[in-house]
Amino acid sequence: MLRVEGLTRRFGDHLALDDVTFDVVPGRMTGFVGANGAGKTTTMRIILGVLAATAGQVRWQGEPLTQEVRRDFGYMPEERGLYPKMKIRDQLVFFGRLHGLSAERALERTEKLLERLGLAERANDVLETLSLGNQQRVQIAAALVHEPIALVLDEPFSGLDPLAVDAMVDLLREEVTPEVPVLFSSHQLDLVERLCDDLVVLSRGKVVAAGAVAELAAGPTTTYRLMVDGDAGWLRDMPGIQVRDVAGGTALFDVLDGAVEQRILHEALSRGPVREFGPERVALSDVFREATR
């Protein structure tokens, strides 16, 4: 398990990270969200040792993370970068070996990933001649080539079309074994909701929400939504509920105790046709907005 513990980082007077603590659990994808400047990239760079923490530490399997262990991590930085004038095969082999693979193994992995990404016939092309989308694929391959024990991806899908995102997600699912913790930051919340098991929300350098996406976004709710023909103003007189909002035939209300929502439904049906009735699920974007307010 990868654990970030009390990370604090100052840039001069600016407190970029303030006592950030969270876990990235193996075999689960952890989404890392937050507004621009919230500290996501700073956190990730500290995890990879590219930046030093002012206080706090990163732990791996309970021990402080060392340079040796870190070399087996896979990293995709926010600011993309590979050698523009190097052939993509040579490039991936180089990064594989840099992370400790033998030359043969690095080549084997490179061929497999290029095949998988549909770039096999471009293997001898220089990176800068590829389209941006394809360069992004090579960048992901560079993070995966050495079969990393943990993955840290900073905005891995930004700038990709939905099809490319799907292809990339399939690749990740295929490549990442159940022992590998994955942390990825994104501002595409729908994507995070679809892909992630866990979520860490960061706001102005602080963790404001953390936990399983299912619990945070779609947990048991007491808020219901009703839509009827005619006016729904009668709801205000019903006992056991708290009306949040009524607008014509549409109403939002909280159930204060047990099975009272069934009584409301009966009442509504007796008054006319019911177009819609059900628990109101909270979208992740609401969690996010709520948490970062």
Partner 1 sequence: MNSLDRPWVLIAEREITTKLRDKTFIGSTLVMLLIVIAAVLIPAVLAGKGGPDKIAVIDDSGVKVVQQASTTAGGDGFEATRVADRAAAEKAVTEGDVKAALLPGTDGYVVLGKDRVDSSLEGALREAAAAVGTEANAAKAGLSPAELHAGTKVSLELLTPGPLPDVVSDFVNIGLALVFYMTALGFGMMIAQSVVQEKESRVVEILAAAVPIRSLLWGKVLGNTVLALSQIVLIAGVSLIGLLATDQADILEVVAPVAGWFVVFFVLGFVALAGLWAVAGSLATRQEDLGSTTLPGQMILMIPFFFSVFAGSSAKTVASFVPIASSMSMPGRMLTEDVPLWQPLVAIALLLATTVLIVRMGARLYERTLLQTGRRLGYREALALKTS
Q: Which residues bind partner 1 (CB under 8 A)?
A: 45, 48-52, 67, 70-71, 73, 75, 77, 79-86, 90, 94-95, 97-102, 142
Quick one: 65 or 167, whose CB is closer to partner 1? 65
Report the C-alpha gap between 120 and 132 in whole angstroms: 17
Q: How far is the CB of 107 from partner 1 (least distance, A)?
A: 13
Q: How far is the CB of 246 from partner 1 (least distance, A)?
A: 53
Quick one: 148 or 249, whose CB is closer to partner 1? 148
Counting every residue written for the chain, the total comes to 293
Phi, psi angles (nearest 5°) of residue 271 = -95, -15
Quick one: 79 or 179, whose CB is closer to partner 1? 79
Judge contact between 268 and 228, C-beta under 8 A. Answer: yes
Q: How far is the CB of 207 from partner 1 (least distance, A)?
A: 23
Quick one: 101 or 264, whose CB is closer to partner 1? 101
| CB proximity list for 188: less than 8 A, separation 6 or greater | 157, 158
Chain mean position to CA 135: 22
Q: How far is the CB of 91 from partner 1 (least distance, A)?
A: 9
Report the C-alpha gap between 3 and 25 in whole angstroms: 8
Phi, psi angles (nearest 5°) of residue 68 = -65, -45
Quick one: 85 or 293, whose CB is closer to partner 1? 85
Quick one: 17 or 264, whose CB is closer to partner 1? 17
Phi, psi angles (nearest 5°) of residue 251 = -140, 150
Report the C-alpha gap between 116 and 110 in whole angstroms: 10
Within 10 A of 263 (CB to CB), how many other CB atoms are there? Answer: 14
Q: How far is the CB of 93 from partner 1 (least distance, A)?
A: 10
Q: How far is the CB of 293 from partner 1 (least distance, A)?
A: 31
Q: What is the DSSP string of 234-246?
A: GGGG-TTEEEEEE
